[in-house]
Amino acid sequence: MSETFLGMPSFPAFPVAARAAVQDGTLRGNLRHATHTIRAKRAKAVAELPDWAELREAGRRIKDHTLRHLDRYLVQVEEAVTAAGGTVHWAADATEANRIVAGLVRATGESEVVKVKSMATQEIGLNEALEAEGIRAYETDLAELIVQLGRDRPSHILVPAIHRNRGEIRDVFRSEMGRWGRAAPDGLTDEPADLAEAARLHLREKFLRARVGVSGANFVVAETGTLVVVESEGNGRMCLTLPETLISVVGIEKIVPTWRDLEVFLQTLPRSSTAERMNPYTSMWTGTTDAETADGPREFHLVLLDNGRTDTLADEVGRQALRCIRCSACLNVCPVYERAGGHAYGSVYPGPIGAILSPQLRGTASAVDASLPYASSLCGACYEVCPVAIDIPEVLVHLRERVAEGGRATREGSTVVLRPARGHAVERAAMRAARWALTRPAALRTGQRIAGRARRLQPRSLPGPGRAWSASRDLPAVPAEPFRDWWRRIYGAGGTAAARPGPGGDTGKDTR
Amino acid sequence: MSSRDRILGRVRRALADVPRDDTPYEQAVPRTYLRRHGDTDAGRTVALLAARLADYRADVHRTDPAGLPELVARLLAARGADSVVVPAGLDPGWLAAAAATAVPDRPESTPRELDRIDSVVTGCAVAVAETGTLVLDGGPGQGRRRITLVPDHHVCVVRVPAQVVSSVPEALERLDPARPLTWISGPSATSDIELDRVEGVHGPRALDVVLLADGDGPPPEPAA
């Protein structure tokens, strides 16, 4: 079977890609400006709700409960959507999902589709798959348009063109819009309002003639079969209501059990993602409407996508990543993302959530996926802001263990035993040595004394295989005297700290 | 094996650790969050709605039934509207004083035809004060979803206080998920350039909200 595909070919390991990214002054400036702008606004929007903690907990519990009974809720979604006039398709992987969508588009006789921004369709590389079938997919979200016109890659979940500043966007519009349709107006400035107007004019033509729309969904309500798309610009409404046929590709983790559950996420998602009390537009639809109402598409298809999600679900620690509602707050607070940018993560899911999602959806076989669990300082800011309380640091550590130690995992529905990854032999050897030494006090003491006496010979970086580790880290300084020797000298064997000088009062000692 | 069976089989194997008597839904989710964040006073809730709408650059107006036709006519004229879409079931009196040509919302009209119309006047199903949100459900006086999308100017009339709720949970209680729903919070906007909000992309760039005192509530305050 094919490898689970997340929309991109093979990428270099995170440290390699990040090293190049941090040298790019423009990129760092753009990212710093954008992430700091949204951080402060988000904090304010969240602080407005005195019950934020309770909403966050409810969101976590709703998602956890749904995941724990996902088989039941999937069947319920299928029944409800079918009863409301929709057609449900099941796609085990990206290839199958793309084949289903291409077939549905071909059946309409159309050769172009308009698209609402959707992570699931990016994940499966739908645009490229449709192109291969002679179907042109037009991205209609402003940031997606910028990425598509610039033949670029998305670098952020919410704002895929976050790595571009207004001047760069103007240049892309000026040079590329004409190739795809209506050209940019003469004298286009880099004012955001002018750029938005240029996008409005460019896409208007495509919306008005579109016969097929393709979307994802933020939520699917199991009890009613209702799909929910949350957006800002109105491009979503255009794609969801004007075409005759609508195809929605939705990950199986997007389900919530009841209509009422939306009351939690419609409060937490907008505030956490764009820092708004409510996003400008939210569309909710249930199947199709009857001939008399005639509101929106006459044909509706829901494609339920697995593509590695059930493998993720099989991991009791890692499955919490499937709670994600794609708000991107974790990207915006992450010190690593802010400096490295989204492209270094080698996936449509960048940032902290990407570092735990991609290696679970795709497995840890590739260089980039094996490196992603390490693309973090474990500072925990991502967990703090997560509106569904995903403990990202916990999953990162769990995945590091899987990469370094190997062990059981689920791939495409089957249990496999992973071998320890190459390149972690030194780490494993160091851990084994530490375990040996830390369980033998006498050996540890001797080793520490020798290291203390030889500390002037300490190198600035490690030699041989340890060089990779010390390339991005300072080696900790070795003290002249081990702590336990110091304690014994000051307090004597079995002594207590009462009325004794602390280390600060112990003058003349070189603590370097 | 069908992909449906394959996926459901994978899910069931993945969840082997979940006990058969796992906590049922009703007990699994604590609903300790608030039903609303403000008080229940109708006048203050309407005032909050007005403030929150204005915060996101909707233009808010207050009137009573006698003043409504004049106000709607003025709002259409201010945008230079020559034509206006009228959904089925809209009170004909609302447009009695308007000079713009009324175009009915018909199933056979094409998006291109709609694109040539300047404005749309609708009612709504419910309005949410805390978030400054209008919800349309396609009921009488609201029309198909596209009529409030393609024309560049939307005048939405909210009966206050009857159609106003405080919060998102209260709004969902009033809505029927079987109907196509559109939640609108201000004119269309984007944060896609440097994560900075810009109003006016594909949806209507101008949103006038008329708070219509329907006689059940307190007397209207002077126009905002």
Q: Does A168 touch chain B (CB under 8 A)?
A: no
B191/A159 CB distance under 8 A: yes
d(CA A413, CA A418): 15
Q: pLDDT value at position A495?
A: 63
> Among residues 173-202 of chain A, which lie with CB inside 8 Å of chain B?
192-193, 195-197, 199-200
Q: What is the pLDDT of residue A9?
A: 47
Percent of chain B clearing pLDDT 70 (strictly above): 96
**Which stretch of DSSP H or E encloses residue B211?**
strand B206-213
Can you tell me the mean pLDDT for A496-504?
53
Average pLDDT over residues A324-347: 96
Higher-confidence position of A445 and A322: A322
Q: Which pLDDT value is given to residue A496?
A: 64
pLDDT tens column, A8-30: 447 899 999 999 899 999 999 98
Average pLDDT value for residue range A285-307: 96
A383 within 8 A of A393, measured Cβ to Cβ: yes
Q: Which of A53-57, A299-303, A415-419, B172-176 shows the lowest mean pLDDT across its residues?
A: A415-419
Mean pLDDT of B91-118: 96
Interchain contact, B178 vs A61, CB within 8 Å: no
Residues of chain A with pLDDT > 70, as a percent, come to 94
Please give the Cα distance from A199 to B188 (Å, whole number).
13
Residue A217 with chain B: CB contacts under 8 Å = none
Q: Is B169 or B200 the better-scoring residue by pLDDT?
A: B169
Instruction: Give per-residue pLDDT as tens, A179-192.
Output: 999 999 999 999 99
**A33 vs B194: CB contact, 8 Å cut-off?**
yes
- Give the A:B interface size as CB pairs under 8 Å: 267
Amino acid at the residue A265: F
Residue A457 confidence (pLDDT):
79
> What is the predicted pLDDT for the residue at A476?
81
CB distance A322 to A253 below 8 Å = yes
CB count in 10 Å sphere of residue A288 = 20
Long-range contacts of residues B1-6, Cβ cutoff 8 Å, at least 24 apart: B2/A90, B3/A90, B3/A91, B3/A92, B3/A96, B3/A306, B4/A78, B4/A90, B6/A90, B6/A92, B6/A413
Residue A7 in this model has a pLDDT that exceeds 50 = no
pLDDT value, residue A497: 55
Q: What is the mean pLDDT of residues A311-319?
A: 98
ipTM of the complex: 0.95
pLDDT on residue A452: 84
Polymer length of chain B: 224
Q: How near does any CA of chain B get to the CA of A103, in Å?
A: 16
The pLDDT value given to residue A498: 54
Q: Does residue A500 carry a pLDDT above 70?
A: no
Count of residues in chain A: 512
Beta-carbon contacts of residue A362 (< 8 Å; ≥ 6 apart): A3, A4, A5, A6, A308, A347, A369
Chain A: nearest CA to B46, how far in angstroms?
Answer: 17
Instruction: Report yes or no: A226 and A284 within 8 Å, Cβ to Cβ.
Output: yes
A65 contacts chain B (CB < 8 A): yes
What are the angstrom distances between the C-alpha of A154 and each of A35, A114, A130, A146, A287?
Answer: 16, 18, 18, 9, 31
User: What residue spans define the domains of chain B?
Assistant: 40-213
Q: Give B-chain residues touching A147 at CB under 8 angstroms.
A: none
Q: Which CATH number fits domain B40-213: 3.40.50.1100, 3.30.70.260, 3.40.50.10420, 3.30.420.40?
A: 3.40.50.10420
Contact across the interface for A313 and B186, Cβ inside 8 Å: no
Q: What is the mean pLDDT of chain B?
A: 93
Residues of chain A positioned with their CB less than 8 A from the CB of B4: 78, 90
- A contact residues 231-290, partner B, Cβ 8 Å cutoff: 232-235, 237-238, 241-242, 252, 257-264, 266-267, 270, 274, 276-286, 289
How buried is B55 (Cβ within 10 angstroms: 0-12 exposed, 13-18 middle, 19+ buried)? Answer: middle
Confidence label for B219 from pLDDT (cuts 50, 70 and 90): very low
CATH number listed for the domain at residues A14-309? 3.40.50.10420
Of B13, B130, B196, the CB nearest to A314: B13
Q: How is chain A split into domains, by residue range? A: 14-309, 425-495
Contact status, residue B13 vs residue A314, Cβ threshold 8 Å: yes
Say how far apart CA A74 and CA A304 lie, in whole Å.
9
Say yes or no to pLDDT of B191 above 50. yes
CA distance A125 to A118: 11
Identify from B7, B23, B106 which residue to disrupt to test chain A contact, counting A C-beta atoms within 10 A and taking the largest count. Answer: B7
- Mean pLDDT over all residues of chain A? 91
